[in-house]
Amino acid sequence: MSESDRGSRPLAVPTRQVENDRFIVTEWRFAPGAHTEWHRHAYDYVVVPMTSGRLLLETATGPVAADLIAGQAYTREAGIEHDVINDNAEEFVFVEIEVRG
């Protein structure tokens, strides 16, 4: 994807639901084509999809497609750098739970 394509994408909308000494819980809402921008996770985290669909992950090694199913959580370790893109014609929503330790 070119830099101009990235710049024309809408941004996903994060809503912080919980933030305390142990957890950060954020709901992410993606309009069709929306993205998070490149970021790196400081903490291990769990993602719980609220809708089903495909997300595209831009990574340092290239794009990766992920088919997610509502309610089927997955985990990732801290340090992963990526841009998450909604590859659906409709809104995609997930809840991200970061574990501070």
Q: Dmax of the chain from CA atoms?
A: 39
Q: Model confidence over 56-100: pLDDT tens digits? A: 999 999 999 999 999 999 999 999 899 999 999 999 999 999 999
- Give this prediction's pTM: 0.90
For residue 2, which amino acid is it? Answer: S
The CATH superfamily label for domain 3-99 reads: Jelly Rolls (2.60.120.10)
* Count of CA atoms in the C-beta half-sphere (13 A) of 66: 21
Q: How many residues does the chain have?
A: 101
DSSP state of 10: P
Q: Model confidence over 21-51: pLDDT tens digits? A: 999 999 999 999 999 999 999 999 999 999 9
